[in-house]
Structure 1
Amino acid sequence: MTTHTPADLPDAASERPARYLRVLSIAGSDSGGGAGIQADLKTFSALGCYGMTAIAAITAQNTCGVRAIHGIPAEMLKAQIDAVVQDIGVDAVKIGMLASPETVRVVADAIRQYQLPHVVLDPVMVATSGDRLIATETSDALVRELFPLVELVTPNLDEAGWLLGQRIEGIEALEGAARQLLALGAPAVLLKGGHLSGDWVVDLLAEREAPSLRLESARIVTHNGHGTGCTLSSAIAAELAGGATLPQAVTSARAYILGAIAAGADVRTGSGHGPLNHGYAPRVQKVIRPPLSR
């Protein structure tokens, strides 16, 4: 057994304590474990961050679909956010499924009150199985209340089409659709083109004050795509927490999710759309040790 003398231990008087990179997920719970809060926590851990949660909804679901949704009362969601932020603190935030306009307002109020940094909004509206998850008035509230407050919005084509009231067909339509989403108030949009057909997947990062960044990769053939959107937005938040620029965060997060899809492509979990392999390449926990004050 190794013993430590006082000389081996950090001197509290001369060294400030270290802390983890802290990422908060405000989202719904997926009882099947492949998406939502569960996928977020797995992603944060895989990318070396300390994950925290404020659960906005509970779902009864598995790889075949969503059976039931129960929204958490707005006051309980607020209590969860307050408890985490006031004690532990936050370096980045991922927002997923919000079940009602009231919960949207709670989250918007929290972002303003606490000046929460690096907020990534994944406007979850439709599950991988095709199940509709939120009502129209809630998606309207997302645009009105949250788009102007976040750093990035990450819709897939179905979600973007719902928000814009139009179908988005073909890679050539991504730029125009992304610019329309920016016009709704978002400062930056990652429009995910994975639902388009073809051997290549093309995503587009559009920012108001920068040229668009087009990201391409060969399509990975698999039935295990449940939770890809949740995982990607969580990975982006984790990278932003560590100080990456937005293009760097998106590029790194996309590389992580491609690896997770490939590592889980042939694994059988349930009888429907299975999950990714979130822990395929775990990393060392990232710790920040602030410099000594002078």
Structure 2
Amino acid sequence: MDWKNLPSSGGGVEDGRGGGLPGGGIAVGGIGGLVIALIALFFGIDPGAILGGGDTTTQSQNQTPAQSGAASGQPDETFDFVDRILGSTNQVWAGIFREAGRTYTPPKLHLYSGYINTACGQASSAVGPFYCPADQKVYLDTSFFNEMTRKLGGGGDFAYSYVIAHEVGHHVQNELGIADQVTRAQQQARSEAEANTYSVRLELQADCFAGVWGNHVSSLANLSQTDVREAINTAAAIGDDTLQRAGQGRVVPDSFTHGSSQQRVSWFTKGFKSGNPNDCDTFNQNYGQL
């Protein structure tokens, strides 16, 4: 993936790295640590689910070269990478909105290390990347990229880009009023299982929107089949069924909040092939079938 061909966000990335807990630690959940938290909350949107209190423990933080560069004032390639992925999502969605006669307000992307206070509450690195609709920002601790490679079996530039594009997809949903409609539908749901189906549809649509972005930058970024496979492998690795099977040895479909591996791969692929967000209507289709 030639990500350096992509446009800059023009100041859309805020670099708040270098903070964190005293001694360079990361706050992680006391019921299983970073990996379990990542598995449970990967690519989430609901701030109530990913933010808040609870007992915490501390573990040492291994900085990426980019984090070390940021602290020392040296050139930071990871910052440039994130900036260009965000810039390209801004360009793609601004164009799509313009064609529909709408105006797109691009989100900010805030880089942090350790923990962060947001308009949605406090979060730690353990929650993974997330979007906060209250301040219209995507939050990302770039050490998560290392966790993807080491713990979740996925990595590579386009896989990391998929992470960012998925979260921007949640911002698109916020811009279109979809997120608010889902919240209202969940409040009226007759059961937790029914409420979960709305969450699944929301997450699968964000996967599809990430695919739409990938389609639009494919030529400029010179995407290869290997690049696309990276994103597909990541989508498969974080399906609810795959994570439940690995974590508890059994699959409970009624508890799904993000979709199965097959669903996540299918909807990302659908968006990537068409490049048309109108093909991402997970709410008026049988989202399990394509």
TM-score by length of 2: 0.28
Between Structure 1 and Structure 2, the one with more helix by share is 2
Structure number with the higher strand fraction is 1
